[in-house]
Amino acid sequence: MSVLRPFKADDLFKFNNVNLDLWTETYSISFYLNYLARWPDLCLVQEAPNGKMMGYVIGKAEGHGQEWHGHVTAITVAPEYRRLGLARKMMDELERISTEVYNGYFVDLYVRCANVLAINMYEGMGYSVYRRVAQYYSKLPHEKGGRDQEDAFDMRKPLPRDTMRRSVRPNGREIIISRDQAP
Amino acid sequence: MVDQEQRKLKPIYDALDSGSYKAAIQTCNKLLKKQPQHETIRALKSLALLRANKAEEAIQLCDEILASKPTDDTVLGIMQHVLKHLDRTPEITAMFEDAFKKQPGNEELGAQTFMSHIRVGSWKSAQLIALKLFKSFKQPKYLFWSIMSAVLQAQNAGGVNPGMTDNAPILLNLALRMVTSSPIPSYVSPDHFYLHLTILKTLDKLDEAYEHIQSERGKRLCETSLVVDELRREIFLAKGACREEAVLCGERLSKKGDRNWITFLSLIDSTFDVIKLNESQSKCETDSVAPATDSEGAGPPPSEAKETPSSTEGNGGEVDPELTPKPTPHPELPLEPQALIDGLRELFERLAKEDGLKERGGHLASLQLEKRVRIREEGQGKSVPDTLVSLLKQYFNNFSDKTCCFEDLKTYVASLQERELTSWLGFLKEQADACDFSTPAGLARSINVFKLQRFSSTSRRTEADEQTDAATYLKAYFEALPDLSETDLQPADDLAILAANGLVSAWVITRKETYLHQALVVLECASSKSKQNYQLRILAVRIYRLLAANGPALSHYRTMDVKQVQTDTLSHLILSRGSTYSLAPVGDVGMTQECITASDIYNQNSSDTADMIIKAFQFEKYSQITEFVEFEDRLDNSLQRDLTRLEYVRMKFTTEKLEPEALLLELQELEFVLEKMHHDNRDFAVIPNYQPRGQSLADQTSMGVVRGFQWLTVFLQLYIRAYARACRVETSVASDMNTFLSGWLSEMTEDEKTFLKFSQILHEWIPCPPLLSREAAMAALTGTATPSDATAAPAQNGGVDPAAKTNGDQERKQSPPPPHVKQDGSG
């Protein structure tokens, strides 16, 4: 239960309680405004009844031909509002817009291979590993590093337009591409 | 031919990209020997000179190139960079205008000219150029650019006094005519539709807007675009279409699986509006002398229209019956108020049952409904039923294992009456007695109980109460604390924060510093076990500063890694009255550095945000443009920005020798700041607050009264007066601050008031020397130096802007940026 509303430019003044969390990066002004200037309907905020920001998602639409899809660039929920199913609601909406407005074939996202919790959550939402992107992330300052820390899984969920279910494959975890090959 | 040209220029570009500016200049010189008039190479040389910090040569070359009125795309692009770097953005516009005049058939040049007007906020010129582009090249995009520019002009967006201008109706009607005459309909995209509806709404053409929304395409856009749907709701409410809103929200909740809280709220609000409307209409029918059948256009007397209480949530509950010319009851809505309310009750209970504990919407909506019913019944003098307390208990039992339970219930607890509070507190006491910290759910529940108990407490709290509570929370904290890895947040952290809240309260009651020490021990201990918890750190920063221990405060603040736009909203945590703790005189520049870091974002804003406004035009996202312009303005005229600027000035005074030639420029900057309309973007909500109702931990831990616009004005005037006296020039600031500012001192501490008095006495005591004109003063201050030599000095000395650029920023330094840069000539 929360207000689902569009992400707006002045939310940059309000997102401290979400962004002060270690796992959420704060980018330059242009980063956020660039998304809003191009895909405002894929940028959403969840707000508590008292007006506090609970979390947000920032997405885009990209790709050519059968690769045309919605992409989740960032999704985050403030610590005090976790385990309420907010991420799922934001993903649902993003998938709905990717289908109804953009008519994409699938929605995809990148996640550290070591982030098992997140991977399980996305699998619960119908996503599956499409491929592994080597050395996609930089090492975290407080972690040891290693392949699973730095590699990303590209996870995809087919949308109704993908009638052939080309964005799903059983052996996705074994298919490895380099960072340069990733879009 | 083109290839050859590219090969020739490549070494220059490569040198520029790799930062070898000297090499770039040398290559340019070599090539210019053969082709002295090669425009692109000359432009690149100007850029290279600028990057190599050879501002004077760069400016000279730049001016020569501009005088030749270039039209070449590449040259214009490079010159745009050069001018931007020199802070001469308005000249970019003139450059493109000239080029487009020379080649009116060049579409790209026209578009660039439009963008350059947008960059500086000349909406009127932008509108005309866009229209010209549309007429020449027939692209609908240009027509919509013109429409959007007209709307921005009507709003005076980004101007000194934003808001509707006098000629707004003319501009908006013009914009509307353009929309109607457009070769493409507005429903081609949500953003075109949004722009169209905005114009109609602002012109108060609500019926027309309503018709568009109710069209098939309109409905579809409302379903797929949250931005459009928000505007739709505003238009429905403005039009008084509460019946339609209620039916729509009811349908979305019951049939379409919508669980957006805004839909719940809007259903409740609009239903109460319907009740009000029904009542006023039936009253009107009975009271009316005219036959009861004709109720069209008749409204109730104003006194009665206000009889029923409106929403306390600020959801715009007022309905003006005159706005609803055809008040026919909706076939799907009953007429009786009780039936309407019962309908909502049943709906929410059904949803709560269907959704179970996975979804809080239906459950919380029952509470919201009871709150509204209660306000209505209180207004009618009826006794208040007990339903709210039992619903609170029910909600608590269902969701107390969620961290947000306390936040959910706060507003409803606040509306309980004394008698109910006793029952509610009794319930909480039972829960507290059964506290169990061994499971995550039990721990979350216990924390909710503590927070609610604290918030609901009725009696006047004593030192002993606060001590006991703090001890309880602390005991629970150690009991609950599991051993987690360093990267996790400890679920028990809130108990430590609660204990700190209690200890701060004990300090507020007694002013015994030892309580603050104890609070810090608790926070430091918890912070060492939960390194990522920013709330613990924020509280520690506040309390360390109260104890004048700025070092540890600064170190906690830095660990939070506040950056980018956060420096505007959060730097107040460390910089509020920061000069008090500046150790610059003994060589510790930590605090001055913080001022500089915090001010960087304003440069980023002025260089980058305009680009994003242009991007929104390019991608035709008209729903975003006004928001972007407002964002840019809020950040550019941020209160915190100039509070920091003043702190920086005060820190600098204690370390740096006053450079005579910098004085006048600093004076002009401060005078410019005084003219601004400021926005307060500071985030105080991020400071965790678990104090009893009506108290705020942010206020309690503020170092001196929270400063605002008045404080800034008083201090600016004080320094402006002193600078003006030092420069021997006149200033518009009053010379007697005793009388002028008597009502403005509420934001000042006692010490600051004394400082003000001291400054006044000093001002009166020092004899006033004969005044000079500003030019004469500049010459006097700089001795024999020419004005252009003098202007280079403040940049090295830092000026009063902590983030002032140090590269050949001459044009701006000679005179502060005109305050009306963003306003159109006509504005």
- Please tell me the distance from the alpha carbon of residue B591 to that of residue B258, in angstroms, as a whole number: 50
Q: Is residue B662 part of a domain?
A: yes
Per-residue pLDDT tens over the stretch B312-328: 344 444 444 444 444 56
Contact check, Cβ <8 Å, A81/B403: yes
- Please tell me the distance from the alpha carbon of residue A72 to that of residue A106, in angstroms, as a whole number: 11
Q: How confident is the model at residue B824 (pLDDT cuts 50, 70, 90)?
A: very low
Tokens of residue B337, six digits? 């108020």
Give the domain CATH number at A53. 3.40.630.30
B570 touches chain A (CB under 8 A): yes
Same domain, A65 and A112: no
For residue B400, the tally of other CB atoms under 10 A from its CB is 20
* DSSP annotation string for B87-110: T-HHHHHHHHHHHHHH-TT-HHHH
- Please tell me the distance from the alpha carbon of residue A78 to that of residue B17, in angstroms, as a whole number: 40
Same domain, A136 and A176: yes
**Distance of CA A97 to CAs A40, A101, B192, B758, Å?**
11, 5, 18, 64
Q: Find the domain containing B680 and state its range.
A: 647-814
Chain length of chain B: 827
Per-residue pLDDT tens over the stretch B162-197: 777 888 999 999 999 999 999 999 999 999 999 999
Which residue from B261, B218, B258, B263 is spatially nearest to B245, judged by alpha carbons?
B263
Q: Is residue B99 part of a domain?
A: no
Per-residue pLDDT tens over the stretch B614-670: 999 999 999 999 999 999 999 999 999 999 999 999 998 888 887 877 888 899 999
Cβ distance B598 to B565 under 8 Å?
no
Q: Which residue has the higher pLDDT, B607 or B512?
A: B512
B634 touches chain A (CB under 8 A): yes
CB-nearest to B227 from A6, A34, A142 is: A6
Contact check, Cβ <8 Å, B686/A17: yes
The total number of structural domains in chain B stands at 1
Cβ distance B69 to B53 under 8 Å?
no
- Please tell me the distance from the alpha carbon of residue B218 to that of residue B741, in angstroms, as a whole number: 55
Residue among B148, B221, B226 with most chain A CBs within 10 A, to mutate: B226
Per-residue pLDDT tens over the stretch B468-504: 999 999 999 999 887 665 556 788 999 999 999 999 9
pLDDT of amino acid B485: 59
Phi and psi at B471, nearest 5°, equal -65, -40
- Please tell me the distance from the alpha carbon of residue B193 to that of residue B212, in angstroms, as a whole number: 9
Same domain, A70 and A147: no
Per-residue pLDDT tens over the stretch B509-554: 999 999 999 999 999 999 999 888 999 999 999 999 999 999 999 9
Question: Residue B314 corresponds to which amino acid?
Answer: G
For residue B548, the tally of other CB atoms under 10 A from its CB is 11
- Please tell me the distance from the alpha carbon of residue B242 to that of residue B265, in angstroms, as a whole number: 13
Same domain, A174 and A148: yes
B350 SS3 class: helix
pLDDT of amino acid B315: 41
Tokens of residue B116, six digits? 């350059």
**C-alpha Rg value of chain A to the nearest Å:** 16
Share of chain A above pLDDT 70, in %: 97
B88 touches chain A (CB under 8 A): no
Give the ipTM.
Answer: 0.95
CB proximity list for B644: less than 8 A, separation 6 or greater: B571, B575, B578, B595, B598, B599, B802
Q: Is residue B672 part of a domain?
A: yes
H/E segment holding residue A153: strand A152-158
Same domain, A100 and A122: no
3-state secondary structure B710-777: HHHHHHHHHHHHHHHHHHCCCCCCCCCHHHHCHHHCCCCCHHHHHHHHHHHHHHHHCCCCCCCCHHHH
Q: Find the domain containing A136 and state its range.
A: 106-183
CB proximity list for B83: less than 8 A, separation 6 or greater: B62, B89, B91, B92, B95
B132 to chain A, closest Cα gap in Å: 24
Cβ distance B109 to B90 under 8 Å?
no
Residue A173, pLDDT > 80, answer: yes
Among A104, A126, A141, the domain-final residue is A104
CB proximity list for B648: less than 8 A, separation 6 or greater: B592, B595, B596, B599, B800, B802
Nearest chain A alpha carbon to B557: A20
B569 touches chain A (CB under 8 A): yes
Same domain, A95 and A134: no
Q: Provide the terminal-to-terminal Cα distance of chain A, rounded to the nearest Å.
A: 35
3-state secondary structure B224-239: HCHHHHHHHHHHHHHH
Q: Is residue B741 part of a domain?
A: yes
Same domain, A68 and A151: no
**Distance of CA B335 to CAs A19, B65, B274, Å?**
48, 76, 9
CB proximity list for A111: less than 8 A, separation 6 or greater: A118, A119, A122, A152, A153, A155
> Per residue in A64-97, is it b (16+ CB within 10 Å) or e — as a string?
eeeebbbbbbbbbbbbbbbebebbebbbebbbeb
Average the pLDDT over B302-311 and give the result. Answer: 36
Average pLDDT, chain B: 87
Per-residue pLDDT tens over the stretch B54-82: 889 999 999 999 999 999 988 999 999 89
A 94-133 residues with CB < 8 A to B: 96-97, 100-101
Q: How confident is the model at residue B282 (pLDDT cuts 50, 70, 90)?
A: confident
Question: Residue B704 corresponds to which amino acid?
Answer: G
B422 touches chain A (CB under 8 A): no
Q: How confident is the model at residue B148 (pLDDT cuts 50, 70, 90)?
A: very high
Q: Is residue B703 part of a domain?
A: yes
A 64-83 residues with CB < 8 A to B: 79-83
* DSSP annotation string for A70-91: EEEEEEEE-GGGTTSSHHHHHH
Contact check, Cβ <8 Å, A13/B565: yes
Nearest chain A alpha carbon to B617: A37
Per-residue pLDDT tens over the stretch A138-171: 876 666 667 888 899 999 999 999 999 999 999 9
Q: Is residue B125 part of a domain?
A: no
Contact check, Cβ <8 Å, A21/B364: no
A80 to chain B, closest Cα gap in Å: 6
Q: Which residue has the higher pLDDT, B324 or A67?
A: A67
Same domain, A125 and A75: no
Question: Residue B514 corresponds to which amino acid?
Answer: T
pLDDT of amino acid B306: 35
Average the pLDDT over B703-716 and give the result. Answer: 92
Same domain, A89 and A2: yes
Same domain, A90 and A114: no
A182 touches chain B (CB under 8 A): no
Average the pLDDT over B787-804 and give the result. Answer: 49
Phi and psi at B202, nearest 5°, equal -65, -30
For residue B25, the tally of other CB atoms under 10 A from its CB is 22
B378 SS3 class: helix
Residue among B259, B535, B631 with most chain A CBs within 10 A, to mutate: B631
Q: Is residue B493 part of a domain?
A: no
pLDDT of amino acid B324: 44
Share of chain B above pLDDT 70, in %: 88
Same domain, A72 and A120: no
H/E segment holding residue B171: helix B168-181
Among A75, A104, A133, the domain-final residue is A104
B158 touches chain A (CB under 8 A): no
Cβ distance B198 to B231 under 8 Å?
yes
pLDDT of amino acid A103: 96
Same domain, A21 and A83: yes
Residue B409, pLDDT > 90, answer: yes
The total number of structural domains in chain A stands at 2
**C-alpha Rg value of chain B to the nearest Å:** 32
Residue B303, pLDDT > 60, answer: no
pLDDT of amino acid B160: 72
Answer left, alpha or beta for residue B268, where phi above 0 means left and psi between -120 and 50 means alpha.
Answer: alpha
Residue B100, pLDDT > 70, answer: yes
Q: How confident is the model at residue B19 (pLDDT cuts 50, 70, 90)?
A: confident
Chain length of chain A: 183
Phi and psi at A154, nearest 5°, equal -90, 110
Cβ distance A52 to B635 under 8 Å?
no
* DSSP annotation string for B46-77: HHHHHHTT-HHHHHHHHHHHHHT----HHHHH
A35 to chain B, closest Cα gap in Å: 10
Residue A28, pLDDT > 60, answer: yes
CB proximity list for B327: less than 8 A, separation 6 or greater: B277, B281, B295, B296, B321
CB-nearest to B566 from A2, A19, A89 is: A19
Residue position matching structure tokens 């009618």: B380
List, in sequence order, every residue forming a beta bridge with A58; answer none if it has no partner: A43, A74
Q: Is residue B718 part of a domain?
A: yes
Cβ distance B165 to B202 under 8 Å?
no
Phi and psi at A61, nearest 5°, equal -120, 135
Which residue from B377, B240, B210, B381 is spatially nearest to B318, judged by alpha carbons?
B240
Share of chain B above pLDDT 90, in %: 67
- Contact residues, chain B, for A40 at CB < 8 Å: 191, 227, 621, 623-624
Residue among A80, A90, A116 with most chain B CBs within 10 A, to mutate: A80
Residue B825, pLDDT > 60, answer: no
- Please tell me the distance from the alpha carbon of residue B384 to that of residue B386, in angstroms, as a whole number: 7
A47 SS3 class: strand
